[in-house]
Amino acid sequence: AQKITQTQPGMFVQEKEAVTLDCTYDTSDQSYGLFWYKQPSSGEMIFLIYQGSYDEQNATEGRYSLNFQKARKSANLVISASQLGDSAMYFCAMREGRRGYSTLTFGKGTMLLVSP
């Protein structure tokens, strides 16, 4: 079974609109961390936002927020007021406590295209 599932291969959004990128995860650990990374066409992985499994409030970082629903094991990324520069691949990732928090397990990603 996949540990991180991103069901949207591609998403389209118009500039200035909000968009939600889906992520569900699978773990039996009580302690884990969830991450979102952005990968532009240049290839570098850019950290966007983090949510800990014990965090009671949803994480926010500027235009990025994480809609964390622990019971449903989902950690969707919400990008508000999309910009042309947001066009990129977006990856959801998890670090599990059982592995000593040492590694990230990534989903297959969602390609976001922002149109003018």
Partner 1 sequence: GAGVSQTPSNKVTEKGKYVELRCDPISGHTALYWYRQSLGQGPEFLIYFQGTGAADDSGLPNDRFFAVRPEGSVSTLKIQRTERGDSAVYLCASSVSGRGTYNEQFFGPGTRLTVL
Residues lying near partner 1 in the complex (CB under 8 A) are found at 4, 31-33, 37, 42-47, 50, 52-53, 91, 93, 95, 97, 99-109
Residue 16 three-state SS? coil
Can you tell me which residue has the tokens 């295209």?
113
In whole angstroms, how close is the CB of 63 to partner 1 at the nearest point? 19
CB of 101 to partner 1, least distance (A): 5
Instruction: Specify the residue, 17 or 61, whose C-beta has the smaller distance to partner 1.
Output: 61
Alpha carbon separation from 4 to 52, 81, 85, 91, 95 (Å, rounded): 15, 26, 25, 10, 11
Beta strands 10-14 and 19-21: pairing type? unpaired
Nearer CB in complex with partner 1: 14/69: 69
Smallest separation, CB 45 to partner 1 (Å)? 4
